[in-house]
Structure 1
Amino acid sequence: MKDKKYSYNLPNISNEKQEFKTNVNSIIIVGANGSGKSRLGAWMEKMHENLYRIPAQRDITISKDGFRNNYRIARNNLFYGFYPSKDVFLNKYQGFENATTKLYSDYNKLLDFVLATEQEQLRKDHENRTTSENIIDKTKKIWKEIFSHREIELVEDEFLCIFPDIKNKYEARMMSDGERSVLYLIMYVLCIEEKIILIDEPELHLHPSLTNRLWSTLEKYREDCLFIYITHDLNFAANHADSDKFWIKSYDGKKWKFEKILKNENMPQELFLELLGARRNILFIEGDNDSLDFRIYSILYPQYQIMACGGCEKVIQYTKAFNKQNALHNFKAYGIIDRDFRTQNEIDNLEKDCIKVLKVAEVENLFLLECIIMAILEQSDIKDRLREIKDYIFEIKFKNCLEKQILENLKSEIKYKLNTINIDSKTPDKFQEKINSIEELINFEDMRQNIKNKFNSVYENKNYDELLKVFNQKGIYTEKGFLSKVGKTKEAYDRTVLKLLKENKKLQKKVLKYIAEI
């Protein structure tokens, strides 16, 4: 059924049904709590003649007393006793807006219908002298795909869960919530005759490791059906990679606003969904969740969802990708990256894409800011050591690696200029022109002299702020030479700086001047 087309309806801006088509048999509608997901499910049930809804409010308790009915009665009990016709259903609950709170308890009716269906299939096979896979066979096969180390058997109208390796078994009503939920959903999906199956909260009662495995397997067995999931579980949505996905942007109590989530090669869909779920502006940063970047920015930008991306390339890539889809979410993303020898031209271009560049060379240099060091020294009443500390950084750390810093800066600037050259030429002559232009673009001696003058000027003028802007050498604040002068161990220095930033609003403002105005 690879070429099969499925159609379904969603409400448009006027709350009228709008038809969509897809060639995959699963749709996921994601929304936060309070976004009208259950009411949307009831609306969709009302607007589709061929849709059956498995509600979120489902009771998976199995009572001890079962019953056997013929196929017709069992079918009516399940599909019309549990879920009456749409007109009766809507009248009983005063419209679909209120049809979302009843707890449905129908496990025994479902089992009764499964048993009756099996007998009906066996009867037809006998009449036609054929053999077909019946509903019990399919249930057992799907169960085995979900739980590879346990089986189920039907014994005297009751399912037993069996562990063959340890020869242990127990009745279905003694199963865990997850096991009973899996059995319930397998049987229901196999029984449903309608061609659209709507599932509220597909993750309910299920461990995350089971959820996608179960529904992907059921989709495979019912390729004749379109599965529509309504969920707030972003992991389920992200891991269901091939599904069409919609985001409920807003709900005012009567109308919904949707946006389709398109695949974006510049950002993993799992991350994009996670950020949508945060429902606030985003700040992409370098490092990971244990890094200095994350700890500092979490304090200084509490109003943002902080997302650590690893390297600066990912920060740039994700910030651009998220903002390109702002019509979908109406949130804003920013990025903060280290300065790392970047030219002013490069910094200005990044700024256009909401990428902020530190006013110090790297995030570690924030721990060397004069305002930070002074706050630490004042705690121990040794603020007269500031000059000694700055002299140490200038004379011992900076002066002794000037040539290396100049070379690193030179390499970085040349690399940037080379990356600005467009070599997408269609003829050899044009390509040769590009190559010849490199020497003109990169005047090596002038560039080297300018960089050398910049570093020498910083040293000669003892400009401490400029030193922190150009000096790329991680870990100065963790070295014994520095720590002995501030009277702290590394752990104590880290802890004290972060505590001061949390508690001292004036210090926060001073530090923010070296980061970014967002």
Structure 2
Amino acid sequence: MTENKYKFAIQTSNNGILNIPLTEGNALFVLGANGVGKSTLMHKLFEQNFDHTKRILAHRQTWFTDNTMNLTARDKKSNEQDMKNRDRQVTSRWKDDYSSSRSSITIFDLINSENIRARNITKEVDNDNLAQAKKLSNIQAPLESINELLALSNIPIVISLMKDEQLFASKNGSEPYSIAELSDGERNALLICSDVLTTEPNQLIILDEPERHLHRSIISPLLSSLFQKRKDCVFVISTHDVFLPIDHSEASVLLLRSCQWNGKNIKDWDADLISEADEIPSSIKREILGSKRNILFVEGDYESLDRQVYSLIYPNISVMPQGSCTQVEKAVEGIKGTEKLHWINSYGLIDADDRTEEQIQNLLNKGIAALTCYSVEALYYNLEIVKRIAKRLAEVLGQDETELFEKATSGIISVLIPHKTRLCSRLCEKQVRNSVMTGLPKHKDIQEKGNFELKINLKDIQEKEEAHFDKLVADKNLDGLISRYPVRETPVLTKIATGLGMTRDKYESAVRKLIIDDKETKEYFKTLLKPLTTLIEK
């Protein structure tokens, strides 16, 4: 898609006409207090992009009349067109004549998308095109996506489509009950998820005040996950909550301070476009002091596996990727050293990178735990987790779990051996860098004006690591190999997933689902992350 498909131009009192870039895969937060013209601005944005926009209103109805389709396809299409035309009128900013129809259409779209997927798979099976049927089945079902999103957002409910096309919910393994009986927050989260996931491709999604009826610990991870699910769309989110753009530092922020009226229309806004949420003025941040928040800073970015799995293991913590380990350390130290942010508890998780025990302990004293494995993939593909996934699959498919597990793991060593030299050198690279940094002269050394030399025997380091690799192979220590080396740079992870009859994405999604469903698995992951767990729970 071209960037200029989406238009957002506003008249400002301080910056002239402000043309705001909107590109698919990115999000823009419109932040401002009550009375600064946010709803009028959102209506203007809707008008500018009428043909390719889905608007989720702030004053949306969050209750259902029932839990099934109560519209015909013809009624749904007619109501949809009437609603969109009605939304063009200025009164739609505060009045909604189709509030009940909106929630009914959302449920219709959700059930319909589930049925379309099932019909497409059945059609390929009937045509004996099993490869295509399997390919379609590997695409996550809408309800499966919603349940994963809800779990990632700390909402412990599971939505199911049951007899007579009725949607039911279950909380913590309870008996199913109608979605009409969900709480306000749960219904709101379900509606937002359904609206976004069933939106046509390449659309502008305008989401007004998503925080309504939802706690901050829910809406922030919910938005993060929705952004990842719909990278083909543009998101513009209007909010009063300063923490939402702060939690999504990769997004842009349109900061509204005030507006000037000319009769019934807004003449212009006092507005600034901020490329990073970190630039939001501290005076505005200080206006919102909620209860103490727990934030875990991790390496990687918002698209990485880290954020998703840690959000599930520690559901009461906001997980914020920071890129490198240095940035994680700076983020934690910055918050702990800033009294103005005293309502935040911050923790960090970084790779061990062959640090000494003394260095690791010093980090722990600062609130930063070191991951004992090379990368987060070692958690996903830990053999105990692979075994649990094999068991779950075996129960569904009626196969032998031991055979499934053996098929997934039997070729790990043979796949890794050809990559031995590179895997060892990649690990040694971290060791060498650590040696260089710790061996640099201190200011006292410099004052003595002597010579500085640093010699590293790379041959010995590499050969020592290769000997360790050989020992792990000889001992058939598969977990040791997976956790110590950057195995994501080899075919081994794909080998494990395909051995279970899954793609890597499907397998990793299954691991997250296992954490959601099984408390013992969540606790097992906490033991794998014991230093961090101890920090958080002390």
Q: Which TM-score applies when normalising by structure 1?
A: 0.46
Q: Which of the pair has more CA radius of gyration? A: 1
Q: Which TM-score applies when normalising by structure 2?
A: 0.45
